[in-house]
Amino acid sequence: MTLADCFAFLIRQWRDEIVVTSAGNASEMWWHLTRETDRVFYLDASMSLASMFASGIAVGLPAHTVWAFSGDGAFCMNPGMLMVERQMALPNLKHFLVSNRTYGSTHDVALSNAADNDYVQIARGMGLSRVFAFDNMNALATGFEAAVRSPGHAFVVLEVEALGHTMPAPPMDGPELKFRFGRHLERIGGIRIFDSLD
């Protein structure tokens, strides 16, 4: 399936979930399709930490579901993130691994051992039980509810075609993103992020 089709489907299912996207194609495509400025943290500046960042949010906002997107290039830099996720077992965290088997944001440069990396088995080997994988739109449409709407942490591998080209990154500087996203979380979560220095 194409990344555009896959994300377009997910965006149609998107309700009030908090979204964190990782560097590269995930951030670029989500921005391209939504132009969303408040409900998404485009963690474009860092690879391999989107799910950890999302986990921190999920700890503070247990009544809200957080969708975290990692690219497989980022995942391969820090697969041990799944150990931490398994240990934390946050029921409101859904971690999507966008597997295009390349470094998509750097002109599809080859990813180490790309053809043989079995992300589902890696996740299961770290003790995760709610692991799902989809490589076509029909399967994703059929399996989405069970994978993503059911209670409990989930790790969802999305096997997509390499994009073949780069896309513009969300045109926001870091502080703008921080305050837009943070103010959104303050509103929906009833929390204070910025105003307390005590």
From the list 49-57, 99-107, 113-121, 139-147, the region that binds another protein by CB under 8 A is 49-57
Cβ proximity of 1 and 136 under 8 Å:
yes
Percent of the chain as helix, strand, coil, to the nearest 5: 45, 20, 40
Query: Which of 3, 54, 131, 147 contacts another protein by CB under 8 A?
Result: 54
Q: Are β-strands 109-110 and 102-103 bridged in parallel, bridged antiparallel, or unpaired?
A: antiparallel
Q: Contact between 56 and another protein (CB under 8 A)?
A: yes
The nearer residue to another protein, 58 or 154, going by C-beta atoms, is 58
Nearer to another protein, 116 or 198 (CB): 198
Binding of another protein at residue 53 (CB under 8 A)? yes
x-marked contacts with another protein along 144-183 as a string, rule CB under 8 A: ------------------------------xx-xx--xx-
CB 105 within 8 A of CB 69: no
Q: Does 60 bind another protein (CB under 8 A)?
A: yes
Residue 156, helix vs strand vs coil: strand
The answer to whether residue 37 forms part of the interface with another protein (CB under 8 A) is no
**β-strands 154-159, 131-134 pairing:** parallel
Q: Please name the amino acid found at residue 144.
A: F
**How many chain residues interact with another protein (CB under 8 A)?**
40
